[in-house]
């Protein structure tokens, strides 16, 4: 249980960092970031695999680049569900999801060491 809470807090901090770095992503506060991180985790666990399965032929044709678009779409979907978390535009979502992955990985690495 402790690992889930740690991962949740890491993703919350990563979302706050991404909102600070990307103009098109806004978070109204720590509470909104907590909720957005939880919803993003659920979306990535249940909806993303289904979309990845249906878009597999296109993902193969684009040599995996479609995955970035799908990750951005997951971030926009989370934005549509969570009030206080806003993503403006597909490019902000794609770049934000990329930076979110990098920051989350870096924070996980720092905390694990």
pLDDT at 12: 96
Q: Are 97 and 71 in contact (CB under 8 A)?
A: yes
CA distance 111 to 91: 30
Structure tokens at 107: 């924070």
The mean pLDDT value of the chain amounts to 95
Label residue 3 by pLDDT band (50, 70, 90): confident
pTM (predicted TM-score) = 0.93
CA distance 66 to 61: 9
Residues 78-103 have pLDDT tens digits of 999 999 999 999 999 999 999 999 99
What would the 3-class secondary structure string for 69-95 be? HHHHHHHHHHHHHCCCEEECCHHHHHH
Q: Are 11 and 40 in contact (CB under 8 A)?
A: yes
Label residue 113 by pLDDT band (50, 70, 90): low
């Amino acid at each position: 249980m402790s690992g889930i809470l740690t991962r949740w807090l890491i993703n919350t901090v990563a979302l706050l960092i991404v909102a600070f770095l990307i103009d098109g992503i806004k978070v109204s506060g720590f509470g909104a970031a907590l909720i957005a991180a939880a919803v993003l985790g659920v979306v990535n666990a249940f909806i993303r695999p289904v979309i990845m399965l249906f878009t597999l032929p296109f993902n193969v044709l684009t040599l995996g680049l479609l995955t970035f678009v799908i990750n951005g779409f997951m971030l926009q979907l989370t934005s549509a569900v969570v009030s206080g978390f806003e993503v403006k535009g597909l490019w902000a979502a794609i770049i934000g999801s990329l930076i979110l992955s990098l920051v989350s990985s870096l924070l996980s690495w720092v905390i694990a060491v």
